[in-house]
Amino acid sequence: MRRLTTLFPSEFLEEHAEELGVVERDRKTQVPALVWSFVFGFAAGESRTLDGFRRSYNATADETLSPGGFHQRLTPTFAEYLCDLVEHGIDEVAVPDAVDVDVDRFRDVMIADGTVLRLHRFLSEDFEPRRGEQGGARLHLLHNVTDQTIDRFNVTDEKAHDSTEFSTGSWLEDRLVLFDQAYFKYRRFALIDENDGYFVSRLKPNANPEITAELREWRGDAIPLEGEQIQDVVDDLCRKYIDVEIEATFQRREYAGTQSWDTKTFRVVGVRDEDADDYHLCITNLPREEFLPADLATIYRCRWEVELLFRELKTQYNLDEFDTSKTYIEEILLYAALLSLLVSRDLLDLVTEQADDEIVFPPERWAATFRSHAQLILHELGEYLGYSPPPLLERLIEDAQKIHKQRPILQETLATATQPRCEA
């Protein structure tokens, strides 16, 4: 429990809530209990309803909240508050190196990617879909493979392209970033190189740069590649690897009303897939002296890490099953999911520290274990924080009773309908 309260100290949770005005002049709401009820309620919930989160809160805090009182506390400001907590958690959470490839050469290995979340059709104006009537949000993540956590995140509508959410800068120094084709842009690759960073990206099928040099000599009657365009000759090759230098031409960002053209030399590597009878082509600025084609193929397979992360969010946390027509409620649920993931990874770090060195914890197996124990962890955390929730029987009575007095229950309706009518 000390680990969790170090990640999100109660004093920090309360002070930041007060700064944002999450709870105005209301001492009845215990903010730490509210936050933890969303974190562990989201992890444990089979169906993540607001009433489910309220029950988690009432089972933890000193005083219960009615459905109306609980819903009043779920506001756009609370969504902003949870977003801030995700950013705080991102800075704090890191687990031991889980990368199989030798990447000590880099400060971090990063993966940029995004996934689409299907939303209620009433949210289609705020989260515009690419097609159809159902709303669509896109979650953009910068996944740190080295530390097995999230470095950056952003939420846009579905129509926003992944590529527009990746910013270059000095933070790239000595970091390796892995991209899929959605991020392909020569100018982006040039900026990464100029910031002393490294990248590996799939080569887009419509990218056809000219080969300026071959980086590996082939004996016999090998087809010469220098001066050819890569896509024009790739179907004629049978060699196991392609390793060439190419020259890319691109436009720089507009400056003072003009936009200049520039060229940059990169490396294109192809590894033959015998089953598909073609090559997986990648573009990179990694030097051949340190990274042979087989090494690059192994490194690029790290991209599967982010696919596993998205699969964990969608299968374990039901990230794409939000049934709400309110934008801020959707944001609250999304940030609760990310907080659950961060807390899960922080506890994985603790478990890894305590376990024997030879024990391995597969991420999805750990996620399922964390979910199955989430309510128990929440109960112990509440005791650790000194909360004394009302007796269980009292909570059962409060939750199960009829709320709307003007709305008859089924038994009352049947009883009235079957009563014999008095004769006039």
* Within a domain: 353: yes
- At residue 424, the pLDDT reads 44
* Within a domain: 301: no
Q: In terms of residues, how long is the chain?
A: 424
Radius of gyration of the chain (CA): 27
Same domain, 24 and 83: yes
pLDDT beneath 50: ranges in the chain: 95-101, 423-424
* Within a domain: 122: no
Same domain, 279 and 335: no
Task: Calculate the CA dihedral of residues 164, 165, 169, 171 and round it to 10 degrees.
Answer: -160
Instruction: Give the SS3 label for residue 282.
Output: strand
Same domain, 275 and 342: no
- At residue 96, the pLDDT reads 46
Q: How distant, in Å, are the alpha carbons of 17, 73, 188, 311, 336 from that of 81?
A: 7, 12, 33, 26, 11
Tokens 């953009």 found at: 140
pTM for the model stands at 0.65
Q: Which two tokens stand for residue 20?
A: 């944002």
- At residue 284, the pLDDT reads 95
- At residue 225, the pLDDT reads 86
Last residue within a domain, chosen from 235, 254, 284: 284
- Report the domain count for the chain: 2
Same domain, 255 and 339: no
- List pLDDT tens digits, range 75-124: 999 999 998 898 888 777 754 444 444 566 788 888 888 887 767 666 66
- Domain of residue 253: give its range: 198-284
Same domain, 340 and 391: yes
- At residue 377, the pLDDT reads 92
